[in-house]
Amino acid sequence: MSWYEFWIFVHVVLFVYWLGADLGVLLLARRARDRHMPLEQRALLLEMAMKIDFTPRIAFVLMLPVGLQLAWTSGLLPGQAWLPLLAWGIAALWLALVLRLAMTGGADPLLQRIQSAWLLTLALLMALAALLPWLLPAISWPGWFSGKLGLYALICLMALGIDRAFQPVAHGFSLLAGDAKDAARGEALVGPGIDATLRIVVSLYVALMAAAWLGIVKPGF
């Protein structure tokens, strides 16, 4: 097995764990929305969804250095050996942040702000990288590679949107165990919050599959 084949294999494994685990999260979250289920079951389903959700989040992090390593190994980034090394260093710090959030149940406001700022920064960097062949004639790579970079930027924004859309859900669930008035307020937060989150998640699936299509087909543009 060549290094190129090895990184292709890792890339595919990350795609499987990202999309596959995320589909499980989607189904659990949809089920937790059902107000006719006992509260304990709904809370358990949501807890399971949030725990499983860290698998696609880890795949999301690792896709950045693995993708750049694959691009460098295939010759798309000749002479830029520092780039995948930099990506691995950044990914290590990002992964530490994701794991720390997992340990705290995502409840640390400072870590949440750091992650939000990083996702926005990374989205801007990836969008800029996608445009580099048009901004700097000295830089040249295929249009499909720019498309993958642009889609990764879009996915960063979607990940940020998912976190924002899901925030009312946790608060809503904390109200469901209260009196009838609190429970009604909780349902008013849980249902729309989960629906908004799932809409962004489905859009993310489309972007992820589009990026996979570009990498496999490599259309000539």
Q: Is the pLDDT of residue 23 over 90?
A: no
Instruction: Tell me what pLDDT residue 221 has.
Output: 64
Listed residue (135, 134, 8, 133) closest to 71, CA to CA:
8
Q: Which residues contact 169 (CB under 8 A, 6 or more apart)?
A: 46, 189, 190, 193, 194, 197
Listed residue (59, 95, 84, 94) closest to 212, CA to CA:
59
What is the C-alpha separation between 132 and 39, in angstroms, rounded? Answer: 51
User: 0.85 cut: is pTM over it?
Assistant: yes
Listed residue (19, 83, 63) closest to 215, CA to CA:
63
> 30-34, 164-168, 177-181, 213-217 — which one is most confidently predicted on average?
213-217
Instruction: Tell me what pLDDT residue 136 has.
Output: 86
Q: How would residue 207 be classed by pLDDT, with cut points 50, 70 and 90?
A: very high
Q: Is the pLDDT of residue 214 over 70?
A: yes
The helix (H) or strand (E) run that includes residue 2 is: none
- pLDDT, one tens digit per residue, over 73-111 is 988 887 778 888 999 999 999 999 999 988 887 777 899
* Mean of pLDDT values over 159-183: 83
Domain borders along the chain are 3-217
Out of 15-19, 103-107, 116-120, 166-170, least confident range: 103-107
Q: Which residues contact 168 (CB under 8 A, 6 or more apart)?
A: 189, 190, 192, 193
* Mean of pLDDT values over 160-175: 86
What is the C-alpha separation between 149 and 54, in angstroms, rounded? Answer: 23
What is the C-alpha separation between 145 and 124, in angstroms, rounded? Answer: 16
Cα of first residue to Cα of last residue in the chain, in angstroms, is 30
Instruction: Tell me what pLDDT residue 64 has.
Output: 94
